Structure 1
């Protein structure tokens, strides 16, 4: 859609790597301005110097309640408005429930669920006052079926699926579109916890997709006319056969 991103300002969390970085690059290529949010300040500095004048950054630790709460207000001190919020930051825990620890469970739920809800809570008044906006959350195919080999991760993504569907309905009358992108296995830092043998097998059968594949799908979702919401787009490796 021509000029769909002209004058648009996007905020992307977890933007220093993986899907967040790929989405940043894709939105910049479409002409948007992007505020890259991550806790890795050195990576953000290096990336924004490489990506050009339409990329800037904001250092936020989403696991720190104060830093998380300050993210949206502080960004709005630098940019005039926010058209797009991509809640992308997340973490992964695989394996049986008894293989992990209560602290790891808390960290995952705080980042994958609580931080998303807090970021959306913070952006809602701004977008409602403007009468427009887009919120996209990185979910997972694991949020759509009982992924028994990663119950904590899957549980966090089921929570996001419910949250997105509820918020889409709550905000529709304000012309705020709320949607999620639900990838299968993506080549990213989240796969660091995968056993090497599983990664090797997945690569051999083409069972992984690239962050750029997800970013292209996000651009497609965001560039639909305002009367259309792609609420949930599931994007999988073609050989993925678990759901």
Structure 2
């Protein structure tokens, strides 16, 4: 019988998920559902050796995913891990939404839906480097996203890759209840993009999609990553109330910590 060995990035992701939980717990208040759903995507980007973000561009459009980006950047050596304890404190470079004065961060986020435009501009001005943007499904309720999509097709930005964290939730509830998006894949195809849909927690599938996106020569690429909101913590998963949290109780923290320590 052949037993599939865990992907090498699985242990990295597990370590980062615990670091993310501690970061949020120590801060007392932060977004957590989205950071947990998107962490495997950022882990793939920074540790699969498919990109060099000292050269290529990574734009985090949804700034509230910053806690995930911070633990990834610390693991990748952009700043000491000891600085994570300063998250969301006065004067720290590690604020609740990512800012360009943080080592490894190119884009100051805040208002949703704007990062893809920024990434498209980088792709146009720097055609020999990849411009990778991480957006959320909720951001696709913003009109500016679709303006950027049209722009990218017009200028044939084959070095632009948009990864959508499709966890199906936003701060006020399920996306389907608030403002349904319809078929995202078909929309991007109609806008002239190459589209792939993947399991956003399957490192092999993510890597394959990224490799294929890098091969495109005439159009931008969109990777729709189907993820689990608050991945890894059972009492948070699929519950929009954990889009952001304030003061996890000791029992909640210990339960979440135990689950993340034992989950694959």
Same-fold status (TM-score > 0.5): no
Question: TM-score w.r.t. structure 2 length?
Answer: 0.40
TM-score (structure 1 length as normaliser)? 0.43
